[in-house]
Amino acid sequence: GAVVSQHPSWVICKSGTSVKIECRSLDFQATTMFWYRQFPKQSLMLMATSNEGSKATYEQGVEKDKFLINHASLTLSTLTVTSAHPEDSSFYICSALNQGGQETQYFGPGTRLLVL
C-alpha cells in the first residue's frame, strides 16, 4: 500500500519549452501532495504544497508562474515547468500525504529533467 507514481521518469527538452510531470497516488486518496527538487549531491528541497481543489502554496524563492501546479483530483497532481532553462535541470520528486494510513508522506520515484 501507499504507492506513489510519477510520469515520466525522465525527460529531455529544449530550452524554452514546457514540461509537465504527473504525480499519482495509486492506492489511496491524497488531499495534499508536495513537490520537491533535488540538485546533484544535494538534499531535497520543498518547492510547493499542492492541495486538492485549491491553489498551491509555494516556498520562498520558488516562482509560482514558472512552476505551475494543478491538483485537480484526490489522486493526481501535476507540475508544469514553463519555459524551461538549463538551470531547471534537476530531479523532481513528489510526495503524497496518506492521512488514512501511517499519516506520513510517501514519495514517488522521481522525474529527472534535463533541459538542453
Partner 1 sequence: DAKTTQPPSMDCAEGRAANLPCNHSTISGNEYVYWYRQIHSQGPQYIIHGLKNNETNEMASLIITEDRKSSTLILPHATLRDTAVYYCIVSPRYNFNKFYFGSGTKLNVKP
Instruction: Write out the three cell numbers for 9.
Output: 521518469
62 binds partner 1, rule: CB under 8 A: no
Angle at 55 between CA 54 and CA 56, to 5 degrees: 120
Instruction: Write out the three cell numbers for 8.
Output: 515520466
Angle at 29 between CA 65 and CA 97, to 5 degrees: 65
Q: Which secondary structure element, helix H or strand E, spans residue 67, and what is its range? A: strand 67-73
Shortest approach of partner 1 to residue 31 CB, angstroms? 11
Residue number, 15 or 42, with CB nearest to partner 1: 42
Shortest approach of partner 1 to residue 49 CB, angstroms? 5
Shortest approach of partner 1 to residue 110 CB, angstroms? 5
Residue number, 66 or 112, with CB nearest to partner 1: 112
2 binds partner 1, rule: CB under 8 A: yes
Residue number, 17 or 45, with CB nearest to partner 1: 45
Residue number, 73 or 102, with CB nearest to partner 1: 102
104: Cβ–Cβ under 8 A, 6 or more apart, which residues? 97, 98
